[in-house]
Amino acid sequence: MREIVLDTETTGFDPRGGDRMVEIGCIELENLTPTGRTFHTLINPGRIIGPEVVRVHGITNEKVKDAPRFADIADDLHAFIADAPVVAHNAGFDRNFVNFELEAAGRPIIADDRWIDTLQLAQKRFPGMANSLDALCKRFKVSLVERTLHGALIDARLLSSVYLELKGGRERALDLSSPEIARARTEVGQSAHGDRPRPLAARSTPAERARHAAFLKTTLADTSLWARLASDLAD
């Protein structure tokens, strides 16, 4: 199943109050595993990024002055997401910004029922506990080494690992009942040489077996296991 993990960085909290996206990052998953395909870009918000927000994500006005406007990347974003479900942490926040910008650019919005909120998944699994992305990374032992500031693509990568754990962990990713595994097991079970005979034919010659039996009689009692086995093979 194809899914898209998405994260955004913005100038604030409310697109209808004038805040805009400054970065978007997406990672493609296939059966909960990253495929290596990503979509990532800075976005010129057309407004000043306040210093209090810069301290969170490190994206300055200088960094985005030559970046594209959202309308310039809307078609590429739509093509990357296509009809896949979209996974986001506190999905309502990202959904509000993405759909506001898509609507403003005259593009179709992403329907609410296509969004998967990992915050809600975490709250059901860990009620009453801290369920921020940082907290979940620490709980699931997902490394935060590369994350010094918030960043859309970095956070999407972290979230893809957290999402795998929330959906059942690495054991789920290695599900032996998946169609791919079932097909592989069928192919392995098929042999061009047919079934092996039971019991297998002896590889030694009658003369070799007779010499072995004679040797055993000189070293072991006739009632020993080896003696009985040699007698059976000689017959």
Could you confirm whether 150 is annotated as catalytic?
Answer: yes
Which among 40, 150, 193, 212 is annotated as catalytic? 150
Q: How many CB atoms neighbour CB 82 within 10 A? A: 9
CB 128 within 8 A of CB 145: no
Quick one: three-class SS letters along 25-49?
EEEEEECCEEEEEEEEEECCCCCCC
DSSP 113-163: GGEEEHHHHHHHHSTTS--SHHHHHHHTT---TT-SS--HHHHHHHHHHHH
Whole-angstrom distance, CA of residue 68 vs CA of residue 46: 10
The residues that are catalytic are 150
